[in-house]
Copies of this chain bind each other. A is one copy, B any other.
Amino acid sequence: MLDAVDWRILTELQADGRLSYNELSRRVALSPPAVAERVRRLEERGVITGYHAHVDLDAVGLSVVALVQMGCYGPLCLLRDEAALARPEILRLYRVTGDACCVLLVGVPSMAHFEQLIDDLADHGRPSSTMVLSSPIPWRAVSRPQAER
């Protein structure tokens, strides 16, 4: 699947998504065209799904962050409502096992906005919220699993 060079590339690009192919080629000891071709294939194969600038939620005024478990099923289920899923307050959404149908990470500017959001979500099923106090690990790079070494 992925060889050692691919993993080194993934590690570097996860740490700094704006690395130039030139610099990347130095770090993985390959020529620039070779590394560019590797990256292109990682993208094509769906290993790299995109490059994203990460934005601090507090810094842009999204001071209320929460995990919301949705207890919904059947035709009203949140997952069947395209418009509801498109709401920008939803930052991530995971479908899960257990009592809940899915878990949402949401970010809003205020508790008043949060109340409104919960009311809207309640059209699809019972929302159960947990407030996020802080994010000690907001994001961490994926590293090579032991099993593959």
Contact = CB atoms under 8 A, between A and B. Distances in A.
A60 B92 CA distance: 20
A72 interface: no
Contacts of A10: 53, 55, 60
A136 B102 contact: yes
A56 interface: yes
28 contacts: A14-B55, A16-B50, A17-B53, A47-B56, A47-B60, A48-B53, A48-B54, A52-B141, A60-B142, A60-B144, A61-B145, A88-B140, A88-B143, A91-B137, A91-B139, A93-B135, A94-B132, A94-B133, A94-B134, A95-B133, A96-B133, A98-B130, A98-B131, A100-B130, A108-B145, A109-B145, A110-B147, A113-B146
A30 interface: no
Nearest to A142: B55
A148 B61 contact: yes
Contacts of A100: 130
Interface of A: 1-2, 10, 13-18, 45-57, 59-62, 65, 67, 79, 85, 88, 90-98, 100, 102-103, 105, 107-110, 113, 130-148
A91 B65 CA distance: 18
A137 B59 contact: no
Given A110-B147, A142-B60, A145-B109, A90 B137 contact: yes
B147 A92 contact: no
B147 A113 contact: yes
